[in-house]
C-alpha cells in the first residue's frame, strides 16, 4: 500500500495516524491467519464541544473544520476513535445532553466506515456516565480489527479517575482470551501511568491496570486528556497521547499552574496541529518538529 | 569548681531536654482551609521545614479531593464535612496540590501550593 506523504501529514495534523503494520505484534497476528493487511485509523481527542473562551475564539468551528478536512482527504482511514472529552462539561444536565447531541450531529458527517467513542471526564464524571451512555453507548468496550485487538478502558466515569476492580476484572477476562504475543491496542482518556499527578494527569489505580497489561508483549496505549503529543514508555509498553481539537495545554509541570496555552491570532492553529517526534538512542535523544493543521512547519 | 560546672551542664541539658519534650508533646498547628468550586482558600499554605501541622479542610459545596502527590497525601473532602490531613515536611520547597475529584467546568483550576520554608 502506497501512502502519499503530504496526505499522510495532513491527516497527522488532525490527530495521530497509526498504521496497523507498525503496531508491535501485528505481523504475528497476520502470520497466524490471513496475509498481513495494512490499515490506518485516526485518533482524535478532546474536542470539548461547547467550550467557549479566549483559548479558542473559533471554538464553534474547529471540530466542523476537522470533519471537513478528514472528508476532503484522499486517504480513508478504516475508522476513527475519539479518546474522550467529546464535549465540555457543564452542571446543567440539559445543556450537557444538548452538547452531546450537537457533537454527534457534527461527527456523523465523517465519511469513514466506523467511528468509536470513549468518554472523558468532561463527558462522564459528573453523572457517572449516565448521559454519555444514553448518547454513545458503553463506557468500555473491545473490538477486533484485522487481527488487532482493541480494548477501550474507561478511567473517567469514576470522578476520582479510577478504573475500578469490576472493570479490571473485565479487562483480565478480555486479555485472558489472547496469547501473550497478540497485538493489542488499549485506548483510554487519562494516562494510565503517573504522568503528572499534581495536574491530575494520572489514573488513580493505573498501576493496577498496568500490572494486568504488562504480560502482553505487543501492547500499545493511546490516550488523550493532556491536549498535546506525549510519548512515554512504562516497562515495555509505549503510551502515546493525542493533541486536542480545542486548545493545547503546556508540557507536564512546565509552568506553576496548568492553564490553556494562549490563543495566538498570528498563528490560530498553533498547538492544534501535530508534532513530529523522533526518538533516538532508545528514547534518550528526542527531536521535535512542529506542524500546523495544514501541514506547514511552524 | 568542678561540681559547679557539672551542675550548670546538667541544668542546661535538662532545660534543652524539656524544650524538646515540650515541642514533641505540643499539639500540631492546625491550618484551616476551605474547598469550593473551583478553589481552595488559602491556595498557598506556608509551614516550616520539619513542622508537624494538620490541614483541616472543609467543603463549602460538594465533594472535592485533596491530593498532594509529592508527599504521598490524598483525602476526600466530603460535602459539608471536614477532612484532617497531617503533614510533616522533611524538606523545603514548593509542593503543588490539587482537587482530584472531578467537580465541573473549572475543576482543572482547583489547585494550590504547600510552601515549606527552610
CB A219 within 8 A of CB A148: no
Nearest CB to B111; choose among A121, A126, A257: A257
pLDDT of residue A20: 46
Nearest CB to B67; choose among A90, A197, A259: A197
Q: How far is B114 from chain A (nearest CA, A)?
A: 12
pLDDT of residue A74: 72
Pairwise CB contact (< 8 Å): B98 & A200? yes
The CATH code of the domain at B28-117 is 2.60.40.420
Pairwise CB contact (< 8 Å): A199 & B109? no
The C-alpha angle B75, B97, A275, rounded to 5 degrees, equals 125
Domain boundaries in chain A? Answer: 5-291
Using a CB-CB cut-off of 8 Å, the residues of chain B touching A256 are 96, 113
pLDDT of residue B4: 47
- CA torsion angle for A36, A148, A194, A160 (degrees, to 10)? 160
Phi and psi at residue B68, to the nearest 5°: -125, 80
Nearest CB to B102; choose among A88, A159, A198: A159
Using a CB-CB cut-off of 8 Å, the residues of chain B touching A244 are none
CB B52 within 8 A of CB B37: no
C-alpha distances out from residue A89 to A114, A168, A190, A245, Å: 25, 26, 16, 15
Nearest CB to A159; choose among B68, B98, B101: B101
Q: How far is B39 from chain A (nearest CA, A)?
A: 13
Domain boundaries in chain B? Answer: 28-117
Quote the ipTM score: 0.82
The C-alpha angle A60, A202, A141, rounded to 5 degrees, equals 70
pLDDT of residue A293: 56
Cα–Cα nearest to A159, from B62, B117, B16: B62
Pairwise CB contact (< 8 Å): B100 & A121? no
Cα–Cα nearest to A221, from A83, A53, A26: A83
Pairwise CB contact (< 8 Å): B102 & A88? no
Using a CB-CB cut-off of 8 Å, the residues of chain B touching A160 are 65, 100-102
pLDDT of residue A75: 63
Give the distance between the most distant pair of CA atoms in chain A. Answer: 53
Using a CB-CB cut-off of 8 Å, the residues of chain A touching B101 are 159-160
Which residue numbers in chain B have pLDDT < 70?
1-25
CB A189 within 8 A of CB A156: yes
Nearest chain A residue to B67 by CA distance is A198
**Check whether domain A5-291 has CATH 3.60.21.10, yes or no:** yes
CB A217 within 8 A of CB A180: yes
Pairwise CB contact (< 8 Å): A200 & B104? no
Chain B residues 44-73 with CB within 8 Å of chain A = 63, 65, 67-70
Using a CB-CB cut-off of 8 Å, the residues of chain A touching B67 are 197-198, 200
Cell of A220: 500499545
- CA torsion angle for A13, A19, A24, A28 (degrees, to 10)? 170
Pairwise CB contact (< 8 Å): A89 & B100? no
Residue-by-residue pLDDT tens, chain A, 298 positions: 333 444 444 444 444 445 444 455 544 444 454 545 678 788 899 999 999 999 999 999 988 988 888 788 776 788 989 999 999 999 999 999 999 999 999 999 989 899 999 999 999 999 999 999 999 999 999 999 888 899 999 999 999 999 999 999 999 999 999 999 898 999 999 999 999 999 999 999 999 999 999 999 989 899 999 999 898 999 999 898 989 999 999 999 999 889 999 999 988 867 774 333 333 333 333 344 444 455 444 4
Nearest chain B residue to A204 by CA distance is B100
Q: Is the pTM of this model over 0.90?
A: no
Whether residue B106 lies within 8 A of chain A, CB to CB, comes out as no
Residue to substitute from B108, B110, B114, B115, interface A, most A β-carbons within 10 A: B108
Amino acid at each position: 500500500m502506497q501512502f502519499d506523504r503530504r496526505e499522510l501529514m495532513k491527516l497527522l495534523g488532525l490527530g495521530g495516524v497509526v498504521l496497523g503494520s507498525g503496531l508491535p505484534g501485528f505481523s504475528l497476528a497476520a502470520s497466524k491467519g490471513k496475509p498481513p493487511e495494512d490499515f490506518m485509523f485516526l485518533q482524535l481527542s478532546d474536542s470539548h464541544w461547547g467550550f467557549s473562551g479566549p483559548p479558542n475564539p473559533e471554538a464553534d468551528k474547529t471540530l466542523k473544520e476537522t470533519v471537513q478536512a478528514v472528508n476532503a482527504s484522499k486517504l480513508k482511514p478504516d475508522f476513527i476513535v475519539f479518546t474522550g472529552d467529546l464535549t465540555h462539561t457543564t452542571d446543567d444536565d440539559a445543556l450537557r445532553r444538548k452538547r452531546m447531541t450537537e457533537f454527534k450531529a457534527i461527527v456523523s458527517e465523517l465519511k469513514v466506515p466506523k467511528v468509536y467513542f470513549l468518554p472523558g471526564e468532561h463527558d462522564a464524571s459528573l453523572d457517572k456516565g449516565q448521559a454519555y451512555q444514553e448518547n454513545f453507548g458503553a463506557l468500555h468496550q473491545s473490538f477486533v480489527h484485522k487481527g488487532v485487538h482493541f480494548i477501550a478502558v474507561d478511567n473517567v466515569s469514576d470522578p476520582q479517575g479510577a478504573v475500578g476492580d469490576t472493570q479490571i476484572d473485565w479487562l483480565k477476562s478480555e486479555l485472558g482470551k489472547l496469547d501473550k504475543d497478540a497485538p493489542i491496542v488499549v485506548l483510554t482518556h487519562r494516562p494510565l501511568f503517573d504522568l503528572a499527578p499534581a495536574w491530575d494527569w494520572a489514573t488513580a489505580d493505573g498501576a493496577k491496570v498496568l500490572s494486568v497489561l504488562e504480560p502482553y508483549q505487543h501492547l500499545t496505549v493511546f490516550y488523550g486528556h493532556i491536549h498535546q503529543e506525549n510519548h512515554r514508555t512504562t516497562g515495555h509498553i509505549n503510551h502515546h497521547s493525542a493533541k486536542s481539537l480545542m486548545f493545547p495545554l503546556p508540557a507536564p509541570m512546565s509552568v506553576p499552574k496548568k492553564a490553556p496555552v494562549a490563543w495566538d491570532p498570528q498563528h490560530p492553529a498553533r498547538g492544534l496541529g501535530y508534532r513530529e517526534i523522533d526518538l533516538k538512542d532508545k528514547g534518550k535523544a528526542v527531536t521535535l518538529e512542529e506542524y500546523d493543521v495544514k501541514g506547514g512547519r511552524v | 569548681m568542678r561540681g559547679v560546672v557539672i551542675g550548670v551542664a546538667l541544668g542546661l541539658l535538662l532545660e534543652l531536654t524539656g524544650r524538646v519534650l515540650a515541642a514533641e508533646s505540643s499539639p500540631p498547628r492546625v491550618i484551616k482551609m476551605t474547598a469550593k468550586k473551583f478553589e481552595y482558600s488559602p491556595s498557598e499554605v506556608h509551614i516550616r521545614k520539619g513542622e508537624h501541622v494538620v490541614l483541616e479542610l472543609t467543603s463549602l459545596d460538594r465533594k472535592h479531593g485533596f491530593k498532594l502527590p509529592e508527599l504521598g497525601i490524598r483525602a476526600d473532602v466530603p460535602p459539608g464535612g471536614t477532612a484532617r490531613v497531617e503533614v510533616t515536611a522533611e524538606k523545603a520547597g514548593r509542593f503543588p496540590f490539587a482537587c482530584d475529584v472531578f467537580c465541573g467546568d473549572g475543576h482543572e483550576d482547583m489547585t494550590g501550593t504547600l510552601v515549606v520554608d527552610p
